[in-house]
Every structure is written in structure tokens, then in C-alpha cells.
Amino acid sequence: MNYLIWDFDGTLGYRSGMWSGTLLDILESRMPGHGRTIDDIRPHLRSGFPWHNHHLINPPDRPADEWWGGCHALFTKAFLALGVPPAEAPRLAGLVRHAYTDVTRWRLYDDTLSILDALSALGWRHILLSNHVPELPLILHHLGLEPRFLSVFNSATTGCEKPHPSAFRGVLDVMEPGANVWMIGDSMVADIRGAEAAGIPAILVRGEDKGGVIAIVEGSRR
Ligand SMILES: [Mg+2]
């Protein structure tokens, strides 16, 4: 059997502005005239998410409230650093979950569905492996991705963040021995190096090397 393990964010879909854009949206709506740009926000979100501590494994099936609670201090600190008054910062941090998971803000890349379907027709089965928030299934459903995937491995649910080898082993565990499997993603560290360390060949897309996904996979098929 042939399997493709896909990253989601930055590979198949995206939220405009990602996390920094989410905080900017909140500033725009709650503090008009704040004068900050997305570039001012980015440095404050470069650490503190679960995937930045990928060496730690969390318990599986953590309640979503607990997951978001773990990020509250990070968002509060970011808003404080951006000049939001101390009395207001925790309140704005509490708005991030709703804003980030607003499914109408999520998009697929133009070629995502056609590539997935073309590869399905060639006999590849799709599995998703993402470092993401607990609401990922709602986002996938909204984007029409859900029916195209055999299974979804979300770090918020499994407790394992890429590139930790356990994240990849969990996926391999559901496949029959000797399966033909490739990882496809946009992150050299989380997707490519992580997969290769777990013995899975990997293809970098949309990042430094923007190769055509279908051409590469067909050419590499054993
Ligand atoms: Mg990605």
C-alpha cells in the first residue's frame, strides 16, 4: 500500500497572517489606531507554543480548554509587549482562540484539492500529521479536506509534536509493515528532518524548494 503523510499548515492550507495575523486582527478590532504591524508582533510569538517544546510529550486527548489555557500567558505577554495596558492584555489574550479558529479565515492553496485527488487516482492514500490546535477537525471539515484523508494525527490530540519521533511512529503504527510511505511538508525541521529521523523519506514543498508535488512523487515512486 502507498501512503502520503501530509503536513497541513503552510503545505495544504493556511490562515492569513497565521498567529501574528490573529493578534493583529484582535488589535484592529479592539484598539483601533494601535499603530502596530504584523512584523512588530512576530518576534513575540517565536516561542511558547507546544510545538516549540517538541521534546516534551503531553498526555493524549487533553481537553481543548487546557490546551488553550497553556497558551494564555504567551498571548498575554505578547499583548503587553505590544503596548496593551496590563488591565486589558489578559482579556485580549482570551480572544485569540475564537479568532484563530474562525474557519472562515482559513484557506486552501489553489492546487491542494487537485493534487490530493490526482495522487489518490494514482493509488496513494492520504494521512494528515499536523502540529495544531484542538479545533483542527473543524477547520479541515470547513475546507473539505476531511473526506480525502484516511486519518488525521493532530498534536493537540496525540500530545506528540513534530519533529519528535513519536509523532511519526504513531502514524507508522497504523500502516501494514513494508508500506510505501513518504512525508510531504513545508518545514525542513519539523517535517523533513523529523520524518527522515523516523526512517520516512520526505519531500519539502512550498518552502525553500518549491518543486511540483505531483512530479516529484511520481518520479520517486518505487
Ligand atoms: Mg507546515
Residue-wise pLDDT tens digits, 21-47: 999 999 999 999 999 999 999 999 999
- Cα of 200 vs centre of ligand 1, distance in Å, is 17
> What are the φ and ψ backbone dihedral angles of 58, each rounded to 5 degrees?
-90, 160
- Cα of 28 vs centre of ligand 1, distance in Å, is 26
How many folded domains does the chain comprise?
2
* Average confidence (pLDDT) over 143-167: 97
Question: Of 77, 104, 131, which residue constitutes the final position of a domain?
Answer: 104
Question: Structural domain of residue 184, as residue ranges?
Answer: 2-14+106-220
> Is residue 114 exposed (0-12), middle (13-18) or buried (19+ Cβ within 10 Å)?
exposed
Q: What is the mean pLDDT of the chain?
A: 92
Question: Of 104, 123, 145, which residue constitutes the final position of a domain?
Answer: 104
Task: Kindly state whether residues 61 and 147 are assigned to the same domain.
Answer: no
Give, in degrees to the nearest 5, the angle at Cα 38 between 33 and 42. 130
Per-residue pLDDT band at 217 (split at 50, 70, 90): very low
- Answer whether residue 98 shows pLDDT above 50: yes
Residue 207's pLDDT is what?
A: 64
Task: Kindly state whether residues 97 and 152 are assigned to the same domain.
Answer: no
Q: Please report, rounded to a whole number, the percentage of residues in the chain having pLDDT higher than 70.
A: 93
Per-residue pLDDT band at 218 (split at 50, 70, 90): very low
Contact 70, 49 (CB under 8 A): no
- Cα of 39 vs centre of ligand 1, distance in Å, is 20
For 141, residues 6+ apart whose C-beta sits below 8 A from its C-beta are none
Task: Kindly state whether residues 99 and 124 are assigned to the same domain.
Answer: no
Closest-CA residue to 140 (of 3, 21, 11, 1): 11
Task: Kindly state whether residues 29 and 67 are assigned to the same domain.
Answer: yes
- Cα of 4 vs centre of ligand 1, distance in Å, is 15
Question: Of 104, 132, 152, which residue constitutes the final position of a domain?
Answer: 104
Task: Kindly state whether residues 60 and 141 are assigned to the same domain.
Answer: no
Contact 34, 82 (CB under 8 A): yes
Which pairs with CB-CB distance under 8 Å and at least 24 residues apart come from 193-196? Answer: 193/163, 194/162, 194/163, 194/164, 194/165, 194/167, 194/168, 195/5, 195/163, 195/168
Task: Kindly state whether residues 81 and 183 are assigned to the same domain.
Answer: no
Task: Kindly state whether residues 121 and 145 are assigned to the same domain.
Answer: yes
Per-residue pLDDT band at 214 (split at 50, 70, 90): very low
- Cα of 190 vs centre of ligand 1, distance in Å, is 8
- Answer whether residue 70 shows pLDDT above 80: yes
Task: Kindly state whether residues 110 and 206 are assigned to the same domain.
Answer: yes
Per-residue pLDDT band at 132 (split at 50, 70, 90): very high
Residue 169's pLDDT is what?
A: 95
- Cα of 210 vs centre of ligand 1, distance in Å, is 14
Residue 74's pLDDT is what?
A: 98
Give, in degrees to the nearest 5, the angle at Cα 18 between 20 and 206. 130
What pTM did the predictor assign? 0.91
Per-residue pLDDT band at 219 (split at 50, 70, 90): very low
Per-residue pLDDT band at 220 (split at 50, 70, 90): very low
- Cα of 123 vs centre of ligand 1, distance in Å, is 24
